[in-house]
Amino acid sequence: MKPRITVITLGVDDLERALRFYRDGLGLSTQGIVGQEFAHGAVAFFDLQAGVKLALWQRASIAHDTGLAQSPPSATDLTLGHNVASREDVDGVMRQAQSAGAVIVKPAHDTFWGGYAGYFQDPDGHVWEVAWNPQWAEPQ
């Protein structure tokens, strides 16, 4: 398999609340909720870097579409990494996320691998790591 990740979908319990968090709180670009005319179709897409989108879709709709039973969410099943260009950028994104309603799980700190990072949870419990890694090229 040659990976071509183009959409990362997060299951949410309240699509309107999640839309407000990502659009209004974090400032991600979106056309809002689309697909409301279809049963289990309401979804919001956000542009990330070139060719990659973040989708927010009701957890019940994901269960319906996949045929899997809806299970309780687990914050430790997945983290999303947002790499930034500096320590100051980590602090800035963490402040922005908290102002938007995120829960700071672990404040930004020096890491064992020589970087600087912190963790927050969105209103549905998804965990984001905001990191600066001096070993990596500056993010675009």
Torsion of CA 106, 111, 113, 115, to 10 degrees: 100
* Predicted pLDDT of residue 31: 96
> 13 and 60 in one domain?
yes
Total structural domains in the chain? 2
Q: Which two tokens stand for residue 115?
A: 């970087």
* Span 100-131, pLDDT tens digits: 999 999 999 999 999 999 999 999 999 999 99
Domain span at residue 50 reads: 7-66
Residue 73 domain-assigned (yes or no): no
- Determine if residue 135 is left, alpha or beta; phi over 0 gives left, psi from -120 to 50 gives alpha, anything else beta: alpha
**Whole-angstrom Cα distance, residue 113 to residue 87?**
14
* Span 32-82, pLDDT tens digits: 999 999 999 999 999 998 889 999 999 999 999 999 999 998 988 899 999
3-state secondary structure of 15: helix
> 11 and 57 in one domain?
yes
CATH number at residue 114: 3.10.180.10
> 30 and 58 in one domain?
yes
* Predicted pLDDT of residue 50: 87
> 84 and 34 in one domain?
no
Question: Considering the entire predicted model, what is its pTM?
Answer: 0.89
